[in-house]
Amino acid sequence: MIAPDAPMRLFSGPLSMFGAKAQIAALEKGLAFELVMVPFEMKRLYEPKHPEVLRINPKRQVPVLIHGDLEIFDSTQIFEYLEDVAPNPPLWPADPAERARARLIEHKSDEVYFPPIIRLMGLQDTPEDPAAIAARDQAARFYGEMERQLDGRDYLAGPYSFADIAFYMAQLFGARMGAGMTEATPGLLRWRARITARPAVRQVAGAMAAFLVSEGRPLPDFMKGLASV
């Protein structure tokens, strides 16, 4: 059993979507933790790897969470652990069906929406490449799906949840890569403004915006007010 006062350390990176997800969740839970930002440069990326990340995660990437003698990785696994160790405020819906929908959205944000965005990262100089056009089309279709999922609600799966955190961070990178949301999904635009206003989100996304500005990288419009947070 982990002692109640055991220290918690979260390893992330300044441009880690998955690390940002875990950090927002920990902040929303009001947990005390040490944030360890691993070395990162635009040219070398995460090389050399942080030794603790290498030791704990065979995939060699953040996020990694150490809590007492527990060592885990993967943002979804960290979500689940934080919900168990700090059930209040809850970040999964109480209703089983809504909880299942929230888990599915979190999964699809990572595994369905985000892969085309990753492809766009290598196509920034050739936006009219058929592969880039196809990736943007895939993102737009996903936005349409999430617009229907909202159906006039404030959040994606009932109450504010990990699903909102996951998709918010994923679409942030989509916007950076030229596949942002448009007026075709007005409900999602309002949803994004609602999530952006949350203190935990502003803290994490603000640090990311400040890093991008320091590197001379452009910001999507909705992030420009975050750079000074």
**∠ CA(92), CA(94), CA(100), 5° rounding?**
60
User: What would you report as the CA-atom Rg of the chain, rounded to the nearest whole angstrom?
Assistant: 17
103-197 maps to CATH 1.20.1050.10: yes
Q: Look up the CATH superfamily of 8-85.
A: Glutaredoxin (3.40.30.10)
pLDDT of residue 199: 98
pLDDT of residue 225: 87
pLDDT of residue 229: 60
Torsion from C-alpha of 144, 147, 149, 153, nearest 10 degrees: 180
Both tokens assigned to 110: 């990572």
Cross-strand pairs, 12: 37
**∠ CA(186), CA(188), CA(191), 5° rounding?**
115
Q: What residue ranges do the domains of the chain occupy?
A: 8-85, 103-197
State pTM to two decimals.
0.95
pLDDT in tens, the chain (229 residues): 788 789 999 999 999 999 999 999 999 999 999 999 998 777 777 777 889 999 999 999 999 999 999 999 999 999 999 999 999 999 999 999 999 999 999 999 999 999 999 999 999 889 899 999 999 999 999 999 999 999 989 999 999 999 999 999 999 999 999 999 999 999 999 999 999 999 999 999 999 999 999 999 999 999 998 976 6
pLDDT of residue 228: 67
| Total residues found in the chain within this entry | 229
